[in-house]
Amino acid sequence: MLSKSEKETIELGEKIGKKLEKGMCLVLKGDLAGGKTTFTKGIGKALNIKEVINSPTFTILKIYEGNLKLFHIDAYRLEGSDYDLGLDEYLDEGVMVVEWPEYYIDYLPSEYLEITFNYIDDDTREINFIAHGDKYKELC
Ligand SMILES: Nc1ncnc2c1ncn2[C@@H]1O[C@H](COP(=O)(O)OP(=O)(O)O)[C@@H](O)[C@H]1O
Ligand SMILES: [Mg+2]
Protein backbone atom coordinates (compact mmCIF):
# COMPACT_ATOMS: atom_id res chain seq x y z
CA MET A 1 0.00 0.00 0.00
CA LEU A 2 0.99 3.66 -0.25
CA SER A 3 1.05 5.98 2.74
CA LYS A 4 0.84 9.64 1.77
CA SER A 5 1.65 11.14 5.17
CA GLU A 6 3.07 10.50 8.62
CA LYS A 7 -0.50 10.55 9.90
CA GLU A 8 -1.55 7.77 7.51
CA THR A 9 1.33 5.60 8.67
CA ILE A 10 0.35 6.14 12.31
CA GLU A 11 -3.23 5.18 11.45
CA LEU A 12 -2.02 2.03 9.73
CA GLY A 13 -0.04 1.11 12.84
CA GLU A 14 -3.12 1.74 14.93
CA LYS A 15 -5.24 -0.52 12.74
CA ILE A 16 -2.74 -3.38 12.97
CA GLY A 17 -2.15 -2.70 16.65
CA LYS A 18 -5.80 -3.32 17.43
CA LYS A 19 -5.53 -6.84 16.04
CA LEU A 20 -2.40 -7.85 17.92
CA GLU A 21 -2.42 -10.67 20.41
CA LYS A 22 0.04 -11.66 23.10
CA GLY A 23 3.18 -13.32 21.76
CA MET A 24 3.03 -11.70 18.33
CA CYS A 25 6.11 -10.31 16.63
CA LEU A 26 6.33 -7.60 13.96
CA VAL A 27 9.54 -7.15 12.04
CA LEU A 28 10.01 -3.70 10.45
CA LYS A 29 12.43 -3.39 7.56
CA GLY A 30 13.51 -0.50 5.37
CA ASP A 31 15.78 2.50 5.32
CA LEU A 32 16.32 5.22 7.86
CA ALA A 33 13.31 7.57 7.91
CA GLY A 34 11.22 4.90 6.23
CA GLY A 35 8.56 5.26 8.91
CA LYS A 36 9.25 2.26 11.17
CA THR A 37 9.15 4.23 14.41
CA THR A 38 6.22 6.32 13.15
CA PHE A 39 4.29 3.10 12.51
CA THR A 40 5.22 1.87 16.00
CA LYS A 41 3.68 5.05 17.47
CA GLY A 42 0.38 3.91 15.92
CA ILE A 43 0.77 0.50 17.56
CA GLY A 44 1.28 2.34 20.84
CA LYS A 45 -1.91 4.28 20.31
CA ALA A 46 -3.87 1.09 19.72
CA LEU A 47 -2.42 -0.48 22.86
CA ASN A 48 -3.28 2.59 24.93
CA ILE A 49 0.35 3.38 25.72
CA LYS A 50 0.62 6.87 27.19
CA GLU A 51 4.39 7.21 27.04
CA VAL A 52 5.84 8.72 23.85
CA ILE A 53 7.40 6.09 21.60
CA ASN A 54 10.61 7.27 19.97
CA SER A 55 14.02 5.98 18.85
CA PRO A 56 16.46 6.92 21.59
CA THR A 57 19.90 6.78 20.08
CA PHE A 58 21.51 4.26 22.40
CA THR A 59 18.55 2.26 23.63
CA ILE A 60 18.17 -1.14 22.04
CA LEU A 61 15.12 -2.33 23.97
CA LYS A 62 12.30 -0.29 25.47
CA ILE A 63 9.33 -1.81 27.25
CA TYR A 64 6.08 0.16 27.24
CA GLU A 65 3.06 -0.62 29.39
CA GLY A 66 -0.36 -0.59 27.77
CA ASN A 67 -3.25 -2.99 27.23
CA LEU A 68 -0.44 -5.33 26.25
CA LYS A 69 3.24 -4.80 26.95
CA LEU A 70 5.13 -3.52 23.93
CA PHE A 71 8.74 -4.67 23.55
CA HIS A 72 10.19 -2.16 21.09
CA ILE A 73 13.59 -3.20 19.78
CA ASP A 74 15.84 -1.08 17.61
CA ALA A 75 18.60 -3.53 16.74
CA TYR A 76 20.59 -1.05 14.66
CA ARG A 77 23.42 -0.90 17.19
CA LEU A 78 23.61 -4.68 17.46
CA GLU A 79 25.18 -4.83 14.01
CA GLY A 80 28.09 -7.26 14.01
CA SER A 81 27.50 -8.35 17.60
CA ASP A 82 25.96 -11.59 18.76
CA TYR A 83 23.83 -10.25 21.55
CA ASP A 84 20.70 -12.00 22.81
CA LEU A 85 18.26 -9.68 24.57
CA GLY A 86 16.78 -12.79 26.18
CA LEU A 87 13.19 -11.95 25.33
CA ASP A 88 11.86 -15.49 24.84
CA GLU A 89 10.81 -15.91 28.45
CA TYR A 90 8.55 -12.92 28.60
CA LEU A 91 7.38 -12.38 25.06
CA ASP A 92 4.10 -14.12 25.90
CA GLU A 93 3.31 -11.12 28.14
CA GLY A 94 3.08 -8.79 25.19
CA VAL A 95 4.02 -8.04 21.62
CA MET A 96 7.40 -7.43 20.07
CA VAL A 97 8.24 -4.88 17.37
CA VAL A 98 11.73 -5.12 15.90
CA GLU A 99 13.35 -2.39 13.83
CA TRP A 100 16.52 -3.47 11.96
CA PRO A 101 15.73 -7.19 12.38
CA GLU A 102 18.66 -8.06 10.11
CA TYR A 103 20.91 -7.37 13.12
CA TYR A 104 18.90 -9.59 15.46
CA ILE A 105 18.06 -12.39 13.09
CA ASP A 106 19.35 -15.29 15.24
CA TYR A 107 16.98 -14.45 18.09
CA LEU A 108 13.74 -13.74 16.27
CA PRO A 109 10.74 -16.07 16.65
CA SER A 110 10.22 -18.43 13.71
CA GLU A 111 6.85 -16.82 12.91
CA TYR A 112 6.32 -13.09 12.51
CA LEU A 113 4.78 -10.38 10.36
CA GLU A 114 7.31 -8.70 8.09
CA ILE A 115 6.60 -5.10 7.11
CA THR A 116 8.84 -3.24 4.67
CA PHE A 117 8.94 0.55 4.37
CA ASN A 118 10.21 2.05 1.13
CA TYR A 119 10.90 5.76 0.76
CA ILE A 120 9.17 7.10 -2.38
CA ASP A 121 9.37 10.86 -1.76
CA ASP A 122 9.30 13.28 1.21
CA ASP A 123 5.73 12.42 2.16
CA THR A 124 5.14 9.06 0.52
CA ARG A 125 6.12 5.60 1.68
CA GLU A 126 5.32 2.24 0.12
CA ILE A 127 4.50 -0.27 2.86
CA ASN A 128 4.36 -4.01 2.15
CA PHE A 129 3.34 -6.93 4.35
CA ILE A 130 4.47 -10.55 4.34
CA ALA A 131 3.02 -13.05 6.83
CA HIS A 132 5.44 -15.67 8.11
CA GLY A 133 3.01 -18.01 9.86
CA ASP A 134 -0.76 -18.52 9.60
CA LYS A 135 -1.73 -16.34 12.53
CA TYR A 136 -0.33 -13.30 10.72
CA LYS A 137 -2.26 -13.79 7.48
CA GLU A 138 -5.33 -11.87 8.56
CA LEU A 139 -3.19 -8.87 9.56
CA CYS A 140 -2.01 -8.32 5.97
N1 LIG B 1 4.07 8.69 4.73
C2 LIG B 1 4.93 8.77 5.76
N3 LIG B 1 4.99 7.77 6.67
C4 LIG B 1 5.87 7.82 7.70
N5 LIG B 1 6.75 8.82 7.93
C6 LIG B 1 6.73 9.85 7.06
C7 LIG B 1 5.83 9.86 5.93
N8 LIG B 1 6.06 11.01 5.24
C9 LIG B 1 7.02 11.66 5.89
N10 LIG B 1 7.44 11.00 6.98
C11 LIG B 1 8.54 11.41 7.88
O12 LIG B 1 9.59 10.46 7.78
C13 LIG B 1 10.21 10.27 9.04
C14 LIG B 1 10.10 8.83 9.46
O15 LIG B 1 10.90 8.64 10.60
P16 LIG B 1 10.89 7.32 11.46
O17 LIG B 1 9.50 6.84 11.66
O18 LIG B 1 11.70 7.61 12.68
O19 LIG B 1 11.65 6.31 10.50
P20 LIG B 1 12.52 5.02 10.84
O21 LIG B 1 12.15 4.55 12.21
O22 LIG B 1 12.16 4.05 9.75
O23 LIG B 1 13.96 5.46 10.75
C24 LIG B 1 9.49 11.19 10.02
O25 LIG B 1 10.24 12.38 10.12
C26 LIG B 1 8.15 11.44 9.34
O27 LIG B 1 7.61 12.69 9.67
MG1 LIG C 1 13.33 4.07 13.90
Residue 139 domain-assigned (yes or no)? no
Q: What percent of the chain has pLDDT over 70?
A: 99
Query: Nearest 5 degrees, angle CA 106-CA 109-CA 114?
Result: 95
Residue 111 domain-assigned (yes or no)? yes
pLDDT tens digits for range 31-57: 899 999 999 999 999 999 999 999 877
Residue 140 domain-assigned (yes or no)? no
The CATH number covering residue 32 comes to 3.40.50.300
- How many CA atoms are closer than 13 Å to the CA of 55, on its beta-carbon side? 17
What number does the ligand 1 atom closest to the CA of 99 have? Answer: 21
Whose CA is closest to atom 25 on ligand 1? 33
Range of the domain at 66: 2-133
Calculate how far, in angstroms, residue 137's C-alpha sits from the geometric centre of ligand 1: 25
Residue 11 domain-assigned (yes or no)? yes
What number does the ligand 1 atom closest to the CA of 28 have? Answer: 22
Testing ligand 1's pocket by substitution, the residue of 27, 38, 45, 62 carrying the most ligand atoms inside 8 A of its CB is 38
**Helix 6-17 and helix 36-46, axial crossing angle in degrees, nearest 10:** 50
Calculate how far, in angstroms, residue 89's C-alpha sits from the geometric centre of ligand 1: 32
pLDDT in tens, the chain (140 residues): 999 999 999 999 999 999 999 999 999 999 899 999 999 999 999 999 999 999 877 789 999 999 999 999 999 999 888 888 888 777 888 999 999 999 998 899 999 999 999 999 999 999 999 999 999 999 99
**pLDDT of res. 134:** 96
Report how many domains make up the chain. Answer: 1
Residue 138 domain-assigned (yes or no)? no
pTM of the model: 0.96
Residue 59 domain-assigned (yes or no)? yes
Residue 85 domain-assigned (yes or no)? yes
Report the C-alpha gap between 35 and 2 in whole angstroms. Answer: 12
